[in-house]
Structure 1
Amino acid sequence: MYKKFIILLLLVIFSFLSCMESTSPVDIELHKKLAGELRDNKLFIAAIDEYKKILGDNSLEFKTRANINYLIGKLYFEDLKDYENAAAYYVRARSLDPDASYSSTANKNLVASFEKMGRMLDAKRQLNQLTDIDAKPKKTGDVEVARVGNSPIWLSEIEQEIQKLSPELQKQLIHKEAKLNFIHNYVGMELMYRAAVRENYIEDEAVKIKLRDLEKQILVDKYVAEKVIPNVKIDSMDVINFYSSRKSTAYKDAPYDSVKTQVFMDYQREKMETAYSEYLQSLAEVEKVKFFDDNVK
């Protein structure tokens, strides 16, 4: 009886100690917060040690364990440039929670880690596993003209890119040899783009600024095309009056028929500038725009 009591007591003590050693949810948040502060102060190894304390909890849920492995992998990858350890922790994170919100970044960085280590075959193997394969043609009768890993590039995709070019350049790509050269260049650009994305160049601040500027210009062009240009009305009599008022100053008294094309282009440009200015003025009134010229030195 006494022996059984001792055994039971030891089991209770062991259970109590195990509970004491495990990390509570509150401790997890504290460790994560401390790890973040350590990273902010460039104490990367200390931050990793703090995360590892969380991993010491055997009762940790898979999703939480996966997230901590991902955060450690990120430290090794971005801050310490230790790509071997980064790859190991990214693999653990992916295995524990393959559908996590950060899985795309983890997968991308895993491939980049292998590339950084010079293990190109492993990088290719990982990339092939991660590629979102769309094996079906884009349209009926479509044919595959190239393949990047497991990703097919279809003829319709190439033709769509060619249609974005000017008519003069499109004419140059009628012949097979020129089109093949275009395809090779297109694939080369795709390879460089994928490599840049994997190495997180998309997070570069200078790149972000250029992308924002480009996006702004595209949106403005689209808005002007749909909201402003339709307000430009062309009147044939107005074109002639336009020419008459500028005949000597802009056209050196040349006959109308000889400068008709130039006159029309000038007239159209002026009408568009006027329409743009008027529309801009209406927007400024709605937004209550003010300029403080005296503050500009």
Structure 2
Amino acid sequence: MTPVAKAAARTSPAASPGSGEPRPRFTDLLAAEWLKFRSPRSTAWSLAGTVLAVLAFNAGTAYDTYRYWRENDAEGRARFARDGIALQEAFNGNAMLVMMLAAGAVGALAVAGEYRTGLIRTTFTAVPARRSLVTAKVLVVAAATAATGAVAAGLSFWLTQTILDGRGLGVPIGHPGAWRLVAASALLAPVSALTGMALGALLRHVGAALVAVFALLLLLPGMLGDDRHWTAVAGHATPYQAWLRLAEAGEATARYPWTAAGAWLTLALWSLAAAAVTVGTVDRRDL
């Protein structure tokens, strides 16, 4: 019997006080889902590749600044400090896109992949308590991607500012807005992964879920410009634009500005809603 099956068996209906088996425990479900999540080599490679890609994009931007700094005129150098460009280069837009797409794909595969292989049927046969099981899966994926995001954001800040320090341009972690940028960038991963899980639960097809991740997380927010009030407000309700607001140095400069507190709230509510959709959809729909 595989480790996953052993962990699942401990939560089966047969595990009753009279049968001599231990009572079902939520920690057993967490252990089983963690084993399923980390067992495929592709998962570890995907997360490691995401971190390396994020570092490459951010470090490349910082190195370009370092390399061509002497070619800037006095106005360009003054603007670099005035506009907080050092923080912008700690985690840039390209790195953000990679993080969101990769984490969203991991989340989508965690759910839709089980429907594709049929593993979901075996799992629910061993553990009929769908809601508890899917909640455990959500927590495992959220924790793993949050750790990945934290590593990517933290290393990116350290590496980019170390490179910029070669020209005396780097800023410390205590610089205004630095912690906010690192935290918001780290949270991109679990928010995107939970969104991918919700789409995987709704669509139950890997290809469709991956396309939906791209459309919902990146394509739709790009279509919601700030030229009209209603599109600006709708855009504010997306993780993409929430991160843009939190990564912004200084005060908001958009035509219809919003607060950093509103951006944090958007990330929190998006995560909770995605988790609720995942658990509710899998719990109520037939296999």
What TM bracket, shorter-length normalisation? under 0.3
Structure 1 length-normalised TM: 0.19
Greater radius of gyration (CA)? 1
Structure with the bigger percentage of helix: 2
Structure showing greater relative contact order (alpha-carbon pairs closer than 8 Å, 6 or more residues apart):
2
Structure 2 length-normalised TM: 0.20
